[in-house]
Amino acid sequence: MDDKRDEGGSAYNGFGAEWRPANLTPSEARAATSWVETRIDRRSMLTNKDRVEDVRDAMWQLERDGEIIVHRIDDRHEPVVARTLYGWEKRIPTTNLWQHKSCGQCGNIPGYPSSVMWLMNKLGVRYLDETDQTSCTAWNYHGSGVGNVVSLAAVFLRNFHQAYMSAKAQGLPVGTYYPLVHCGTSFGNYKEMRIFLMHSAELREQVKKILGKLGRLIDGKLLIPEEVVHYSEWLHVMRHRIREQQVVDVSGLRATIHPACHVYKMVPQDVIYDETVMDGNRVAVSTGLMQTLGAQVIDYSTWYDCCGFGFRHIIGEREFTRSFAIDRKIKVAVEEAKADVMIGHDTGCITTLDKNQWIGKAVDKVYALPIMADCQFAALALGAHPYKLAQLHWHASPFEGLLEKLGIDWQKAKAEFEAYLEEVKAGRIETLYDPKRAITSGPGYVMPTSTPSLSGAAS
């Protein structure tokens, strides 16, 4: 067997039997790397493709042909237009939103969805958070291979059909609520499934048969969303309105952004880019929000790397997950960017980067970089309680120093939260909305006696 080592003794694997080390000199290696970096750091890395297609063209044609019905974003949703990778328009609904939750966020980072809903209350945005929804099941699929395109597409359209129908439970017209997807993997997966469905009559037929059994067709047709919208896109188009209510100065912070793979590498043509955000060379969400809030966003050399989550690896092969998270993300953000915080916009990334720092002590890689989602940071900037609302106590990374830099007394806030826990034990629980609204059918559902005001405010 060939010795696959270069002159420096580094081992290279997985390149196949024909691979031979190049044995570049350090200056040659630097020149080669620079050549690559000038390209990978540009948006053009994603745009030089031959087969570029706007799947919405096929979608509208199928609707004209009478095959599908499109759940439209209309005046009820007060859309704001954003521009995607190729400059195409994407209409982002800003109100009457159906919260399509994330299992990883709700199970492990609960301050993530609570921050989204709190910001909506703050901005007077109407929404529905209900129990008739499942995970997209794509985390499981990407981790295990259990599942398939038919099951993923059926779950996608079942959940989105429920979003369309949900307003009926409140005596409102169907289509009032538009789905807002919290998880990045759900977002990427649903966009892929929409493409596959638009391209394959066979897949549409298979899914239609299943949804027919579930009573999840509209006039005998599949319901397809006009857009698949991620919460970070909502935050992006709302960022100036969010800024208007900012009460905490964040200008002293150096922030790094971890763009999520399943948000911008899956179906990249449907991702928002903005010439005013890093010259349009980075996905605009999160970065645009942080800049609008006044933080210093610091670029770093491994911005494009994944977090190391791996879907399967985070469960059963964490040596990979934690090594990659520390070596390629945390270490670089701390040593190169001198970051005070790393901001993300996806479930697995926040979990991976947050939870895999402590173990670095075992190999003298000691880092303490606060990790949180963009919505949690925005909520803090608008004065949200760091424990009761942003729920930062579920984070393993040390956020206390960050709060001090923001002028937030975390010890006082923690004491307030501990006192609140006593109230919780006594059954006095504060919520962001009326819990009765969460059940829209089946056991526990009560038909409303009058049309609700659709208030998203706490009650």
Partner 1 sequence: MTSGVVSERTAIGDPVSNAPVVAYEKLEEVFEDIRAHPLFDHELHGCLNCGICTATCPSAHYYDYSPREIVQLLWTENLEGVYDAMQEKIWSCAQCYTCAARCPFENSPGGLVMIMREVAIKHGMQSAKDVLRPFSRVLLKVISTGNQLAPNMITREAFPDWGPNVAKVDAPLNILRKAIPVPTMHTMDTAWEVNLKTSVELYTIWEETGVLDQLETIDENLFDVVSDVMDEKRDEYNEWLEEQQE
Residue closer to partner 1 (CB basis): 292 or 440 = 440
Specify the residue, 291 or 351, whose C-beta has the smaller distance to partner 1.
Answer: 351
CB of 145 to partner 1, least distance (A): 3
Q: Longest C-alpha distance within the chain, in Å?
A: 78
Distance from C-alpha of 159 to C-alpha of 6, rounded to nearest angstrom: 52
The residues, ordered by sequence, that sit 6+ positions from 66 with a Cβ below 8 Å of its Cβ are: 221
Shortest reach from residue 105's CB to partner 1, in Å: 8
Closer to partner 1 by Cβ: residue 291 or 357: 357
Given the complex with partner 1, which of 73 and 272 has the nearer CB atom? 272
Comparison of 173 and 442: residue with beta carbon closer to partner 1 = 442
- Cα–Cα distance, 4 to 350 (Å, whole number): 35
To the nearest whole angstrom, how small is the minimum distance from the Cβ of residue 140 to partner 1? Answer: 5
Which residue number, 94 or 391, has a Cβ lying nearer to partner 1?
391
Nearest distance, CB of residue 294 and partner 1, angstroms: 27
The helix or strand, by DSSP H or E, that contains position 193, with its residue range, turns out to be helix 184-199
Position of tokens 């996905």?
Answer: 283
Shortest CB 440 distance to partner 1, Å: 8
The secondary structure element, H or E, covering residue 417 is helix 410-425
Compare residues 264 and 292 and give the one whose CB is closer to partner 1: 264
| Residue 112 Cβ vs partner 1, minimum distance, rounded to whole Å | 10
Tokens 């007077």: give the residue.
Answer: 124
- Least Å distance, CB 126 to partner 1, is 16
Is the Cβ–Cβ distance between 182 and 100 less than 8 Å? yes
H/E stretch holding 211 reads helix 201-214
Of the pair 139, 377, the CB lying nearest partner 1 is at: 139
**At 97, is the secondary structure helix, strand, or coil?**
strand
- Closest approach, Cβ 395 to partner 1, in A, equals 8
Least Å distance between CB 405 and partner 1?
18
Alpha-carbon distances of 389 from 14, 111, 209, 430, rounded to whole Å? 46, 6, 43, 10
Nearer to partner 1, 31 or 424 (CB): 424
C-alpha gyration radius of the chain: 23
Residue 280: count other Cβ atoms within 10 Å of its Cβ.
16
In the bound state with partner 1, the residue whose beta carbon lies nearer, of 206 and 296, is 206
* Closest listed residue to residue 338, CA positions, set 300, 365, 304, 376: 300
How far apart CA 366 and CA 330 sit, in angstroms, is 10
Neighbours of 368 (CB within 10 A): 14
CB of 19 to partner 1, least distance (A): 9
Long-range contacts of 401-410 (CB under 8 A, 24+ apart): 401/368, 401/370, 402/253, 402/340, 402/341, 402/370, 405/252, 405/253, 405/340, 406/248, 406/249, 406/250, 406/253, 406/380, 406/381, 407/248, 407/249, 408/248, 408/380, 410/386
CA distance 392 to 400: 9
